[in-house]
Amino acid sequence: METYFSRWPGVWYHGDWARADGAGQWYLLGRSDDTIKVAGKRVGPSEVEAELIKHPAVVEAAAVGTPHPIKGEGLTCFVVLKNGHPPSDALREELKDLAVQYLGKSLRPDEVKFVRGLPKTRSAKIVRGAIRKIYLGEEIGHMDLSSLDSPEHLQSIREAV
């Protein structure tokens, strides 16, 4: 409990982006620690992922922010392809262009990596924090991965990097 109330006294900090509409309905938009800031523009990973999965070859995708020497953060995307769609440089460029078409030039992914699967929790949430740490060559041993449903996909990320 201390973790949730220690940031601001009397206020519960849960780490999710949320908004309320005029009717009092609340919407959870994603994790606040997943927000990516590319060249001063804030984007949620799900916004990028939603565009990538529009491609007929893509089953699912994960986007993470990675260090960029000019923009501060860049986008690195991990993509799972449908059966019968082999990875290729041409497909990689198509996916980058697709992101530009819907999100703008500044949010063009720097890298697109093809993987067999994405690490997810039992509730089907993509474990982007672990993906990012693996990409950066950092240890993930201290992370709580007890709810991970697909630990074998951590290796798929390692192999793609």
How far does Cα 119 stand from its chain's mean position?
A: 11
Q: What is the pLDDT of residue 28?
A: 59
List, in order, residues 6 or more apart from 72 with CB less than 8 Å away.
37, 38, 39, 40
- Three-state secondary-structure class, residue 63: strand
pTM: 0.80
- Give domain 35-160's CATH superfamily: ANL, C-terminal domain (3.30.300.30)
Task: Establish whether 34 is a catalytic residue.
Answer: no
% of residues, the chain, pLDDT over 70? 84
pLDDT digits (tens, 9 = 90+) for 64-108: 999 999 999 999 999 999 999 999 999 999 999 999 999 999 999
Domain with CATH 3.30.300.30 in the chain: 35-160
pLDDT digits (tens, 9 = 90+) for 98-149: 999 999 999 999 999 999 999 998 888 899 999 999 999 998 888 888 888 8
Given the residues 33, 34, 97, 144, select the one marked as catalytic. 33
